[in-house]
Amino acid sequence: MFDQSIIGICFCVCFTIVFNFSLHRIEEGHVGVYFRGGALLPQVSNPGFHMIIPFLTTYRSVQVTLQTDEVKNVPCGTSGGVMIYFDLYNMVRNFTADYDQTLIFNKIHHELNQFCSVHTLHEVYIDLFDQIDENLKIALQKDLNDLAPGLSIHAVRVTKPKIPEIIRKNYELMEAEKTKLLISTQHQKVVEKDAETEKKKAVIDAEKEVQVARIRYYQKIMEKKSLQQISAIEDEMHLAKQKSYSDAEYYQKERQAAANQLLLTKEYLELKKYEALAQNTKIYYGQDIPKMFIVEGLHSILITDRDGVPVVSVADETVPELAMRASFLSTFGMATDQGSKLGLGKNKTIICMYSSYQVVQMNKLPLVISFIASHNCNTGHILSLENKIDPILSNLKNAVVEA
């Protein structure tokens, strides 16, 4: 009875051991491949529980989904002699796990060491670090295409390498200085941009002022041209008006001259002249000058026409002969004629002082009154005689004009 119990227990233990080694599990995302006596069997099992002959058959679980492999502490000696280490994550899709070591891990070590050996620490750590991912992916995929078709690398990510602490601090200081330099550079650019903006604004304002000045300049020119045109039109109108007046006056004078030519014959004019002179001419000689014209030092009073021909003459024996000449007396008449033409008026007086006498001539055109006196005679008294002699001139003027 005891032996049967021991046999039963041994059978249960053996069955449990055999069952334990024959039962295995395949996880989801994996497949099972079997080896018997070292030979790969053709069947492949799906995820779940399966049985095998223990000790004769072995199995391997192979991942058939995306697989992430991590390669740590890859030594990388740079061309400058500094040893740094990479922590690398690879996203690969594999059909067999056995290829990882040969095609992925070993290749990564080789590529990184080759890359580091030809570049400096600064290039690996900063300048060319962004190119390591892509270059490593291309190199791995190229080898997989040749050695293991069907395997595809989806992505490679290389983390920053670990460098000596002293060098890392130096790089941090350098990066801080670079950041300060970048900030300073950007601030300088902002200042330059502001200055450039202010400059452009000043240029725009200056151009605006120039354009406004140019517009005002042309405006003034146009105003001047308008005034010039208006003045020219007014001048033309005035000229036409004056020409019309002149033509009318010329026609009137022409008709009057034609009438006078028929009326005023030479004989008729001579007759009128002598009649006027006979009625108005009064000549006084000697010491008996009319009492109304008595002024101390007065030698002579002459009323002449503009040519110096006497109409009325009163003189004493002391009068200078030169002052009585017609050529001398006609000078004032010519001068007053020119003054009248220049718009100076006709009623003017000329006083001429000489060494021994003075001549005061009054313009009463067509007559001229000449007073000849000594040089020390009171000229004011002579000028006061103008009012006394005016009544005499009224008839004389008519006679001279008619003559």
Q: Give pLDDT, residue 294.
A: 66
What pLDDT is stored for residue 394 in this prediction?
64
135-186: per-residue pLDDT in tens?
A: 777 877 777 777 666 667 777 777 777 777 777 777 778 778 888 888 999 9
- Maximum separation of any 2 CA atoms in the chain, in Å: 218
pLDDT at 149: 65
pLDDT over 50 at 295, yes or no: yes
The ranges assigned to domains in the chain are 4-63, 67-163, 182-262, 298-402
State the burial class of residue 291 (Cβ atoms within 10 Å of its Cβ: 0-12, 13-18, 19+).
exposed
- Which range in 219-228, 295-304, 319-328 is most confidently predicted, on average pLDDT? 219-228
Judge whether 40 and 68 are in contact, CB under 8 Å. Answer: no
User: 298-402 falls under which CATH superfamily?
Assistant: Dynein light chain 2a, cytoplasmic (3.30.450.30)
- Residue-wise pLDDT for 331-362, tens only, equals 766 665 555 554 445 557 888 888 888 888 88
pLDDT at 391 over 90: no
Cis peptide before 290 (omega within 30 of 0): no
Q: Give tens-digit pLDDT for 9-61.
A: 777 777 777 676 677 888 887 888 888 877 777 777 888 888 777 777 777 77
CA separation for the pair 379, 319 (Å, rounded): 16
Checking if the pLDDT of 398 tops 50, the result is yes
Count other Cβ atoms within 10 Å, centred on residue 30: 18
pTM for the full predicted model: 0.31
Q: 67-163 belongs to which homologous superfamily? A: Band 7 domain (3.30.479.30)
The residue with greater pLDDT, 267 or 361, is: 361
Question: For 209-256, what is each residue's pLDDT tens digit?
Answer: 999 999 999 999 999 999 999 999 998 998 888 888 888 888 888 888
The model's pLDDT over 76-130, given as tens digits with 9 standing for 90+, comes to: 544 444 444 433 223 223 334 455 666 666 677 777 777 777 777 677 767 777 7
Q: What is the pLDDT of residue 206?
A: 92
Per-residue pLDDT at 100: 60
Which has the higher per-residue pLDDT, 319 or 80?
A: 319
